[in-house]
Amino acid sequence: MEYNKLPGTEIEVSKICLGTMTWGTQNTKQEAFEQMDYAIDNGVNFFDTAELYPVPASAETYATTEVYVGQWLESRKCRDKIILASKIAGAGDYTAHIRKNGFKGDSIETALNQSLKRLKTDYLDLYQLHWPERLTNYFGNRNFKYFNDSWEDNFQEILLKLKKVIDSGKVRHVGLSNENPWGIMKFLEYSKNELPKMITIQNPYSLLNRLFEIGSGEICKRENVGLLAYSPLGFGVLTGKYRNGNVPKNSRLDLFPTMASRYTNENCFNATELYHEIADKHNLTLTQLALAFVNDRPFVTSNIIGATNMEQLRENIDSINTKLSKEILDEINQAQERIPNPAP
């Protein structure tokens, strides 16, 4: 395994991060435990979860994933070996069963305390805002619309609340998720007034979605913010299992078709064919190509993988050993030029 430091810290995290969002829907507690055991035995020390998980979000399964992680940490007695990240859910109709006031009031402190209780720990290494409160273009919305919303600038207020939980010792560092360049810069601007700096951003990044490189990539390079790349396999599309119209039983496209709309347009499937040809030409699986590409990016601190079975997990973690030549990278860039960012 290879490791990077979380920006501005001495905390070393594995370049492969174990994602957890299927634990409690597609994966049982026993399967989650097996994944965590395998991950730590193979050098993965970075786990990412969220109060929202598993997905799709529902009142019935709310926070089940954190409960599983907490029970594993307690049973394995290895909290000191894991860099643990979680997230507070943003506002939205689909999170009304969690809370309805976003990051307002005492929501951040309350949500954190509940997560700590479920995770059976007294601190988080990284606490993230899962998505912005304001209406903006995330979760597959390609273009910004001039919304007439009631949101008011509360960046400083949020950072003051995060400073409080950091000062209490319950959180070591803070980060963003599903944020755009304007939001990143606003948080960084306010952090200069002796407030916490957002040291990471968890955004989608894959062969099918390289929009992070436009704007956010330069910000993160110059401001020392690390990308925690999620959906590196594009909802599983970049494994190749959906090629030629196939939809395997119990796959995400089979179980949750409405969640996958940004990954199932014609351009996505056409681009996937281009990347499959490149992988096949160089004796790689499509999964190896897709994950190795993300692992290779200089602005990526860690690549968040997710698996629903052990075969997938083994291939995902082993991707750290796949290195792409300049020839392969050139061919990838040519494919990107032909069909740019089909899955925003």
Residues assigned a catalytic role:
53
Task: Give how far Cα 44 sits from Cα of 39, 145, 163, Å.
Answer: 5, 40, 29
What is the distance, to the nearest Å, from the Cα of residue 66 to the centroid of all Cα atoms in its chain? Answer: 15
| Inter-residue contact 279 to 243 (CB < 8 Å) | no
**Residue 113, token pair as written in the block:** 């305390």
Q: Which of 75, 71, 63 is nearest to 24 (CA)?
A: 63
- Cβ atoms within 10 A of the Cβ of 195, count? 19
| Inter-residue contact 24 to 61 (CB < 8 Å) | yes
| Inter-residue contact 171 to 123 (CB < 8 Å) | yes
| Inter-residue contact 20 to 305 (CB < 8 Å) | no
| Inter-residue contact 287 to 316 (CB < 8 Å) | yes
Residues 6+ apart with CB under 8 A from 263: 208, 234, 235, 237, 343
Q: How far apart are CA 275 and CA 260, in angstroms?
A: 19
Residues 6+ apart with CB under 8 A from 233: 206, 239, 287, 290, 291, 305
Q: What is the DSSP string of 205-226?
A: -BTTB-GGGTTHHHHHHHHT-E
